[in-house]
Amino acid sequence: MHCIKCMIFVSYCLFLNSGFVAALNCTSPTPESLFNGLEKELFSKHLLRPVKSFLNPVDISIAITVVGIVGVVSLHKHLLQLYLHIGMHNEWDIEGLSWDEEECETKRVSVPREKLWVPDVQVAEFMDEDNSPSTPYVYLYNTGRVFDDKPIRVVSSCKLEIYTFPFDIQNCSLTFGPYLHFATDVRMVQGATAEEILQESREVLKTNGEWELADIIIANVALVLSEGEYSEIQYSIILRRRPLLYVVNLLIPSCFLITLDLFSFLLPPQSVDRSSFKMTLILGYTVFLLIMNDLLPITGETTPLINVFFCISLALMVASLLETVFITNIQFSSSQYSAVPQWLSILVLQYLAVVVCIPPKKKIIDPQGMSDDIPLVKPHLALSAPPEPALEELKKLSRDLVAIRLQMDKHFQGSNTSQEWHMIGIVVDRLLFCLYIIFISVSFITIIFYINTF
């Protein structure tokens, strides 16, 4: 009895050491002989994980190849919907399975998928049904290695980042892992490096649309739940937008309109043509923004820089029109204005004038200094009193001289006020012109920098 138990124990140990299945022996170097052995030793056990013990996990080596970037569609202001065609390559070992390559005349065979245990690896970010064609076969090698290659049509979501639109880069993650099996049963292992996957994807990539594949980053992650821990592999697909369409249709026309508004400062400020020209530009720019609104993305958590550029451009156009109205009004009505406030005169004529390189002009001489040059007729200094009619004429002449002097005082005072207002208008006009130049220069440098970066 004791010997029987020992024999049973030894047989069990030999079974564990032999693996999930035994080594195959081909009776003849024909496919029928090999498949008969597989049918007997392997296919009948396709419902079980190919391990010799339930304590051993199956290591699934995974790699992907990005075949096509179908499109990236904005779902709403925070999410993008990504359409990809990828090839998923899975490999795992069947413990104990092997055959002699020379004896069976082959080192690999294709077998039906339903004849083998196949892991339930899926993409966690799936948002739609996978309509990719099914592959009914997998490769089985003489070492027990299984190679599974199948296409996947991925429809997933990723966070929207459009702050640098149209020079934006999107990071979309694809997480591969078993849907049911915990890490104690199925363990995901990286099959190829990120550099190898990126190089192969660029070689086979067929799509030449708006997006291009910039980089791929791989990370091993673990999803821990109360029931257990899942082993997963996360691929970060870095997509870069091709900005040429938006540069040609949005940025360059906008820069042209801004440049036209800049050159409108060369027109005389008092000219009515300058105001009408600026109003026409504002109308054209508004129509341009309405037409191009469909090309702009849905706003995410942050406002894109291109929207800020358009807003500032429109604000500068409106400010230049208001400044032209202000200067035109000064040119024609400044004589009716009151004196310039002291703080405004100091701020504009002493500080801002220096900033925009306009030298201050001298004021008109105070008419009070000319009061001594005006001869006054004093009748009591005459040697002899003139007759009565002559005295009346002298009094009338004296009153006229006083009235003329008052008019001259008022005229010179108005000239000083008008001149100060004119100088303020010139300084403001030059200041806005300098702001235009700075804004256009910074915009062009930024656009050229981003274009060179891409």
Q: Which residue did the predictor score with more confidence, 316 or 4?
A: 316
The model's pLDDT over 95-121, given as tens digits with 9 standing for 90+, comes to: 989 998 888 888 999 999 999 999 999
Q: Which residue did the predictor score with more confidence, 22 or 357?
A: 357
Average pLDDT of the residues of the chain: 80
Do 290 and 324 share a structural domain?
yes
Q: How far apart are CA 302 and CA 420, in angstroms?
A: 45
Q: Which residue did the predictor score with more confidence, 12 or 321?
A: 321
pLDDT confidence tier of residue 272, bands split at 50, 70 and 90? low
User: What integer pLDDT is reported at residue 407 of this predicted model?
Assistant: 64
Do 33 and 53 share a structural domain?
yes
User: What integer pLDDT is reported at residue 5 of this predicted model?
Assistant: 45
Q: Which of 208, 225, 241 is the last residue of a domain?
A: 241
Task: Say whether the peptide bond before residue 166 is cis (omega within 30 degrees of 0).
Answer: yes
Does residue 327 fall inside a structural domain? yes
pLDDT confidence tier of residue 199, bands split at 50, 70 and 90? very high
User: What integer pLDDT is reported at residue 230 of this predicted model?
Assistant: 92
Tokens matching residue 367: 């008419």
Distance of CA 64 to the CA centre of its chain: 27
Sequence-separated (6 or more) residues with CB below 8 Å from residue 77: 160, 298, 299, 300, 301
Does residue 444 fall inside a structural domain? yes
Do 216 and 258 share a structural domain?
no
Do 345 and 217 share a structural domain?
no
Question: Would you mind telling me the total number of residues written for the chain in this entry?
Answer: 454
- β-bridge partners, 154: 84
Do 190 and 46 share a structural domain?
yes
- If you average pLDDT over each of 167-171, 363-367, 412-416, which comes out highest? 167-171
- β-bridge partners, 58: 186
Do 180 and 116 share a structural domain?
yes
Do 274 and 169 share a structural domain?
no
Is the pLDDT assigned to residue 167 strictly greater than 70? yes
Does residue 304 fall inside a structural domain? yes
Tokens matching residue 378: 């004093």
Does residue 390 fall inside a structural domain? no
Q: Which of 188, 222, 241 is the last residue of a domain?
A: 241
User: What integer pLDDT is reported at residue 299 of this predicted model?
Assistant: 60
Domain count of the fold of the chain: 2
* ∠ CA 352-353-359, rounded to 5°: 160
For residue 329, the number of C-alpha atoms closer than 13 Å in the C-beta half-sphere is: 8
Does residue 378 fall inside a structural domain? no
Q: At what angle do helices 272-291 and 252-263 cross, to 10 degrees?
A: 170
Q: Which residue did the predictor score with more confidence, 180 or 443?
A: 180
Do 195 and 283 share a structural domain?
no
Does residue 122 fall inside a structural domain? yes
Do 261 and 215 share a structural domain?
no
Does residue 383 fall inside a structural domain? no
Do 258 and 226 share a structural domain?
no
Q: How many CB atoms lie within 10 A of CB 225?
A: 8
Q: How far apart are CA 436 and CA 424, in angstroms?
A: 18
Do 190 and 76 share a structural domain?
yes
Do 265 and 329 share a structural domain?
yes
Tokens matching residue 88: 């998923």
The model's pLDDT over 240-253, given as tens digits with 9 standing for 90+, comes to: 888 888 888 888 88
Q: Which residue did the predictor score with more confidence, 146 or 446?
A: 146
- Dihedral, CA of residue 45, residue 46, residue 52 and residue 57, to nearest 10: -160
pLDDT confidence tier of residue 218, bands split at 50, 70 and 90? very high
Cite the DSSP H helix spans in 42-144: 101-104
Q: Which of 213, 241, 269 is the last residue of a domain?
A: 241
Does residue 375 fall inside a structural domain? no
Q: What are phi and psi of 54, to 5 degrees?
A: -65, -15
Structural domain containing residue 207: 22-241
The model's pLDDT over 344-381, given as tens digits with 9 standing for 90+, comes to: 888 888 888 888 777 765 544 444 444 444 444 444 44
Q: Indicate the DSSP class of residue 24.
A: B
The model's pLDDT over 29-69, given as tens digits with 9 standing for 90+, comes to: 888 888 888 888 888 888 889 998 888 999 999 999 999 88
Distances (CA, A) of 88 to 64, 122, 197, 404: 5, 10, 11, 101
Tokens matching residue 187: 């363990």
Sequence-separated (6 or more) residues with CB below 8 Å from residue 250: 166, 292, 295, 296, 306
Q: How far apart are CA 348 and CA 209, in angstroms?
A: 54
- If you average pLDDT over each of 316-320, 342-346, 403-407, which comes out highest? 316-320
> For residue 83, what is the domain's CATH number?
2.70.170.10
DSSP labels, 223-237: EE-SS-EEEEEEEEE
For residue 418, the number of C-alpha atoms closer than 13 Å in the C-beta half-sphere is: 15
